[in-house]
Structure 1
Amino acid sequence: MFRNAVITGACGGLGQSLARQLIAQGTHVALVGMNRTALQALADLAPERCRIYTPDVSDAHAMQTMASDWLTQHGAPDLVVANAGVAGGFDTTEAQDLAVMRRMLEINLLGVATTFQPFLGAMHSSGQSGALVGVASIAGWRGMPGNGAYCASKAGLIAYLQSLRAELRRSPITVHTINPGYLRTALTAGNTFAMPGLLEPDDAARALLQGVARGREHIVLPRHVGWLSRTLSLLPARWHDHILLGQPRKPRAGQAGATDIPGLTTPPTHHDR
């Protein structure tokens, strides 16, 4: 299906599932992530077809160095999946949380552009068809209380992918927006609120790859959660806000159940509320 793929966030739940499935199909895979041990376990499945890279995806120079090495070793990819992402609660009243928002935007939004940019020239020059895949979220469709940083990063990503798709319409390179609902990964492990349609990473990865191969530009995982979210959005904003305010909030950095945010050098301290 795909011969040459680059995956960021390859050590996370969805990223690992994507990598395993592509490796099983015989694809050459650039494994990009921060956990070398997890990446090595994947690379061991096909050492001759995999390479490990551990840059910060928001560091343009580091990403260009990574891309240069991969292009030299394996040539232009026909699939680039910008999957790296972080999540966490956010409270605008806390000055310390501004660092969380900045880091989240760097990884979730800027990190997608720094992932695509170094490969675009080579993909154009190859003359072959290729796919750029950005993993956004249905959280980017509407802001949710206590989750403003994450929602903003994913809403911005959706808009960026729309722009890039329009720019590449006359080329053989397609742009795909993936909007997952809830996946059973480390990013959702600390959630205490209801997660309708919770999907296993292997199932999500399979649907993602099949959808991209078929040329689907917008993929919601799973579909029925997208329908539910769209239906709720038809409610008056005041009603919708009231429903969301009744739900528990996602843990913020430093709180029990919070997920790690790489590069957050000064974790926030919080007041009890």
Structure 2
Amino acid sequence: MTDRAQRVFITGASGGIGAALARDYAARGATLGLLGRRREALDSLAAALPGTHHVYAADVTDHAAVAAAAHDFIEREGGADIVIASSGISCGTLTERPEDLPLFEEILAVNLTGTIATFAPFIESMKNGSGARRLVAIGSMAGIRGMKGAGAYCASKAAVHSYAEALRLEMKRYGIRVVTIAPGYIATPMTRNNRFPMPFLMSAERFAARAVSTIARGRSFRVIPWQMGVAAALLRLLPNAVFDALFSRAPQKARKLPSGAA
């Protein structure tokens, strides 16, 4: 890296993990592009951060608006060093309920397609860039194994993991590292109303510090906190019969309108 400030573009920046990442990067002197649905929250965040940053009020499902924001940031800053797709929503869903089908579609549109739409407009300029360049997908522990009542969310995050892995192979020849970070339970609006135990619950600020370190090192995949990484490794190894016996009676996420998008 040169001595110039890092240029970091973050979606989902109006709350939760995205806002925590913005605060951490700004404290390190980065220049930020902050995209989220809630303009007032974005303006408040930007005003509280050291430095001058760019605010874009848009939904990641509005692909034209995301592309316009990306191109504006590239033009103003001469490119981006780090792009973080942090927008996400979650709610309980049941396949047998016809009224839940639009929720499945919405969760996949935000969590998966929104990630793709975030990265797409930056890739060409990043290919022509130099130094440490990162595309960062925020996945989830929920993408490791499916959990009852959370089919849409688990499917969306499993897809994010696989998509980012494919993109990592595509970007390798250009020196662009694709980093996937799978949060465990992080104290954000998305987890606030969970009605079940959340082991190793971590503050968004502590998560952000660890995520920034992971991004700097260019690690391909990391679960944060590390204790949940151990749990993830064990879950991958469980035979289906054992997994089904252990989790078929576990509490499940409540069915309600999606929450957590920022």
Taking structure 1 as the reference length, the TM-score comes to 0.90
Corresponding residue number in structure 1 for 2:75: 72
Equivalent runs, 1:256-271 vs 2, <5 Å: 259=259
- Larger mean CA deviation between 113-122 and 220-229 belongs to 220-229
Task: Tell me, in whole angstroms, the C-alpha distance in 2 between the residues paired with 1:128 and 1:235.
Answer: 40
Deviations 1:14-34 (A, max 9, x none): 111110111111111001111
Equivalent runs, 1:31-110 vs 2, <5 Å: 31-46=34-49, 49-110=52-113
Task: Tell me, in whole angstroms, the C-alpha distance in 1 between the residues paired with 2:127 and 2:69.
Answer: 18
Task: Tell me, in whole angstroms, the C-alpha distance in 2 between the residues paired with 1:202 and 1:118.
Answer: 28
Q: Alpha carbons of 1:251 and 1:172: their partners in 2 closer, same or farther (altered >3 Å)?
A: same
- Larger mean CA deviation between 198-207 and 232-241 belongs to 232-241
Question: Per the alignment, in what secondary structure is the counterpart of residue 5 of structure 1?
Answer: strand
Question: Per the alignment, in what secondary structure is the counterpart of residue 32 of structure 1?
Answer: strand
Task: Tell me, in whole angstroms, the C-alpha distance in 2 between the residues paired with 1:220 and 1:87.
Answer: 19
Percent identity (aligned): 38
Corresponding residue number in structure 1 for 2:205: 202
CA contact (8 A) 2:135 2:179 kept: yes
Task: Tell me, in whole angstroms, the C-alpha distance in 1 between the residues paired with 2:169 and 2:57.
Answer: 31
Corresponding residue number in structure 2 for 1:154: 157
CA contact (8 A) 2:144 2:235 kept: no
CA contact (8 A) 2:8 2:32 kept: yes
Task: Tell me, in whole angstroms, the C-alpha distance in 2 between the residues paired with 1:87 and 1:132.
Answer: 22
Task: Tell me, in whole angstroms, the C-alpha distance in 2 between the residues paired with 1:208 and 1:260.
Answer: 19
Corresponding residue number in structure 1 for 2:147: 144
* Deviation of the 1:236 alpha carbon: 3.1
- Larger mean CA deviation between 240-249 and 206-215 belongs to 240-249
Aligned pairs, number: 259
Corresponding residue number in structure 1 for 2:10: 7
Note the residue ranges of structure 1 that are not aligned, 5 or more in a row: 263-273
Taking structure 2 as the reference length, the TM-score comes to 0.93
CA contact (8 A) 2:42 2:57 kept: no
Task: Tell me, in whole angstroms, the C-alpha distance in 2 between the residues paired with 1:197 and 1:173.
Answer: 32
Corresponding residue number in structure 1 for 2:30: 27
Task: Tell me, in whole angstroms, the C-alpha distance in 1 between the residues paired with 2:27 and 2:99.
Answer: 44
- Look up the equivalent residue of 2:228 and give its one-letter code: V
CA contact (8 A) 1:30 1:52 kept: yes
Deviations 1:181-210 (A, max 9, x none): 110111111111111111110011000001
* Deviation of the 1:47 alpha carbon: 7.6
Q: What is the aligned counterpart of 1:165 among 155, 161, 168?
A: 168
Does residue 192 (structure 1) correspond to residue 178 (structure 2)? The answer is no
Runs of at least 4 residues of structure 1 off by over 6 A? none
Q: What is the aligned counterpart of 1:223 among 218, 222, 226?
A: 226
Task: Tell me, in whole angstroms, the C-alpha distance in 1 between the residues paired with 2:114 and 2:214.
Answer: 23
Task: Tell me, in whole angstroms, the C-alpha distance in 2 between the residues paired with 1:205 and 1:260.
Answer: 16
CA contact (8 A) 1:27 1:49 kept: no
Task: Tell me, in whole angstroms, the C-alpha distance in 1 between the residues paired with 2:145 and 2:71.
Answer: 37
Note the residue ranges of structure 2 that are not aligned, 5 or more in a row: none
